[in-house]
Structure 1
Amino acid sequence: MHKTIMAKMVLWLVFCLPLLANAHQTNTPELKKSTQGPNLASVNAAVALAGSNDLVFGKNSDRSVPIASITKVMTALVVLESGAPLNEWLVFRKRHTPAAANAYSRIRIGSKMRRADVLRIALMSSENFAAYTLARSHPGGFDAFIDAMNARAKTLGMVGTRFVDPTGLSAENVSTAGDLVRLVNAAAEYPEIREYSTTGYFRGHFRNPRYSLSFGNTNALVHRNSWGVGLSKTGYLSEAGRCLVMISEMNGKQVVTVLLDSLGTRSPMGDAGRIKRWLDTGDQGQVAKAARQYAQEKNAAYNAVVHSTTAALK
């Protein structure tokens, strides 16, 4: 079961050997703490109070794993910190390099949209062509944008993180749940990221030629007032599983939740609910058998590669 996913996982694990070797030596106390927390379908997770990088709960939170479109949170941070004008019209040009995965888009090549709206649809609807265009339109160019992503990760202390593209279509974009808490806290300082990432629906207007497209948020929880979602980003690749980062209201507090690699489409939402109940009542909750089996398989594959890597380094 899941043999194709396991094979792909081994490939990216081999690519990330330096990060894995470093991660394997850290955070042992946190793994012990995770056994007292909620039961989650996600293989890797982290929970912290908004504004703090200290974890309230962690599950494999030091593992460097593919993060899919969670990448776009860093893309947004680099865009805003570049100082590029948000009202500038950007051109959606044909990709200069092939996408690492399916990059289908409804946006027409050659059309234009304001940078602010390009950023909005990249965040709330996870539009990959939009994220690519933001990087391509960076004042220093595409390669400089990727360098800026990695440089910003370094300044944030994201030691288990590496980026190779701005969309998350590449499984070589890796991070840890703990690192992503740092990223979410940094991104939350920008009202544009909070607003754009939690926009429920948006009608985007293009020109050259003139047309419009409707976009919806990929996180169903932003439509529920009871969650008070203040920042949100979802992600999915076969190598990364279902992923979610967000800031939401839990037990009267603003909480950062990072959920990486679960099996089902709605598993991250279910995990968020279990975390919310755990913070409120201490109830650890339960997950489905299929989700537990998926996590066991991913853990086994990860541990096998880390073991062989550690042995090779001795």
Structure 2
Amino acid sequence: MPYRQRTPSSPLPAFRFLAWLRYIAVFGLLWLNIGWTFGATHEPPRHSSLRAVRHVSLPARHASKAKARTADKAKKVTTGQTPRRIAHKRKHVADDEHSLHASKLAPKSRRHGVRVAREPRASGRPPGMTTHRSRQPTPTSRMAGNTARTAHARHAGLRLLPRCGYTPRSRALLRARSVFVVDERTQTVLTEKQADRVMPIASISKLMTAVVALDARHALNAPLNVTVQDQDFDKFTGSRLSVGSVLSRHDMLHIALMSSENRAAAALSRDYAGGRPRFVAAMNAKARALGMRHTSFVNGTGLSPHNVSTARDLARLVAAASRYPLIRAYSTDRDQMVFPGGPRARLSYHNSNALVRSGDRSIVLQKTGFINEAGHCVVVRMIVHGRPIDIVVLGAPGPRDHIADVIRIRRWLRCSLR
């Protein structure tokens, strides 16, 4: 059969050209789709960091919502997001970056922000949950914690020791009905016995009399007369200061604290703006200001059994009175000579506390008191190895029992607090 040559008008070459063009278009679209997916999945690290910085300041209560939104966005990107949405995201990221540069944020601060933003992501927490960093103790908090633990340990070791004679049996030997011993610096109670029992306090009231008289800021060198109103109408006790005697306020305060002179205390309470009722009201107001909730006064001498308090309250009074140098000095003088009626009329007063008379220099403030209803009472601030210790003894039955109790407590303190 003879060979037949094809004519140029045959449609086969054109069909093949169109087929190849279709394949090229399909492969081109696939390549573009792969490129867009790869670009969306592998965004530059700085963009993700900037997004994280935006979410760092979210409150902890929105952390779950931020986590859900972040997961949804990541899911959309990995499953194939349209180029339009990706371009929209890149535009917002570029705007955020531009705003950071516009605010002149230092490079060091940006690096620190990126580091803070990446740390929660590495630990498995959403970018907004950065509260775990606040749980880590700072050097300042660690130092404060160590100081508190050291102080607690030091205070925990501040106690009376059995090897120093402080035992339940020796504690039962205290004759007073109420006892309270406290370290002034740390407020550590070293021993107590019915410390909240309300009792008459007798002449220990004169400590509050001295505080209120000094707060009035009268001229202490001014003379003060003893009148009939200063006599004792409660117990009808006598006094070495006769009616008509004249002493300075200095001397009145001195012998009232040192020797518990009743008429001197009565004269000080009468010589007040508004008279004695206003003075007593000021005593009660001062007690409330000091937190002495179970304390009440009806006069400035303590001769009334209605002047009541507790051993714990009186420790507050001792602490307040110790802030007055005159009260410390006058209450611990061993003796004082006064001239109530001229240079020839003189009276010699001695301290009512046997420990002070015997020369105990560790006592920096004291006051004794006695009426039948109150028994024998004493309050003392004593320095033991550099520590101010307040001792309150109320209701001792015998005239020497309150001093004997203080001596026993002093022995325990000096041995235990070394």
* TM-score normalised according to structure 1 size: 0.74
Q: Distance in 1 between matches of 2:301 and 2:189?
A: 27
How far does residue 278 in structure 1 lie from its aligned partner after superposition? 2.0
1:227–1:250: 8 Å Cα contact kept in structure 2? no
Letter in 2 for 1:155: A
User: Which of the pair is proportionally richer in helix?
Assistant: 2
Percent identity for Structure 1 against Structure 2? 42
Q: Which residue of 1 aligns with 2:227?
A: 93
User: Residues 43-58 of structure 1 correspond to what in structure 2 (within 5 A)?
Assistant: 43-50=177-184, 53-58=187-192
Q: Which residue of 1 aligns with 2:171?
A: 38
Letter in 2 for 1:153: A
How far does residue 149 in structure 1 lie from its aligned partner after superposition? 0.4
2:230–2:267: 8 Å Cα contact kept in structure 1? no
1:125–1:217: 8 Å Cα contact kept in structure 2? yes
2:212–2:283: 8 Å Cα contact kept in structure 1? yes
User: Aligned pair 1:116/2:253, yes or no?
Assistant: no
User: Which of the pair is proportionally richer in strand?
Assistant: 1
2:230–2:263: 8 Å Cα contact kept in structure 1? no
Q: Which residue of 1 aligns with 2:51?
A: none
Residues 52 and 179 from structure 1, CA distance in 2 versus in 1: closer, same or farther, beyond 3 angstroms? farther
Q: Which whole-Å deviations, capped at 9, do the CAs of 1:231-269 have from their partners, x for residues lacking one? A: 110000111011000112335422111000011111111
Q: Distance in 2 between matches of 1:112 and 1:159?
A: 37
User: Aligned pair 1:187/2:321, yes or no?
Assistant: yes
Match of 1:129 among 263, 266, 270: 263
Q: Which residue of 2 aligns with 1:68?
A: 202
Q: Distance in 1 between matches of 2:205 and 2:237?
A: 15
Q: CA RMSD in A?
A: 2.1
Match of 1:168 among 284, 295, 302: 302
User: Where has structure 1 moved over 6 Å in runs of 4 or more?
Assistant: none
Q: Which residue of 2 aligns with 1:214?
A: 348
**What is the number of residues matched between the two proteins?**
249
Structure 2 counterpart SS, 1:186: helix
Residues 75 and 96 from structure 1, CA distance in 2 versus in 1: closer, same or farther, beyond 3 angstroms? closer
**Which runs of no fewer than 5 residues in structure 2 stay unpaired?**
1-165
1:38–1:274: 8 Å Cα contact kept in structure 2? no
2:230–2:266: 8 Å Cα contact kept in structure 1? no
User: Residues 1-314 of structure 1 correspond to what in structure 2 (within 5 A)?
Assistant: 38-39=171-172, 40-50=174-184, 53-95=187-229, 99-207=233-341, 211-281=345-415
Structure 1 counterpart SS, 2:379: strand
2:232–2:238: 8 Å Cα contact kept in structure 1? no
Q: Distance in 1 between matches of 2:286 and 2:315?
A: 14
Q: Distance in 1 between matches of 2:409 and 2:359?
A: 17
Residues 53 and 74 from structure 1, CA distance in 2 versus in 1: closer, same or farther, beyond 3 angstroms? farther
Residues 281 and 96 from structure 1, CA distance in 2 versus in 1: closer, same or farther, beyond 3 angstroms? closer
Residues 75 and 51 from structure 1, CA distance in 2 versus in 1: closer, same or farther, beyond 3 angstroms? farther
Q: Distance in 2 between matches of 1:127 and 1:165?
A: 14
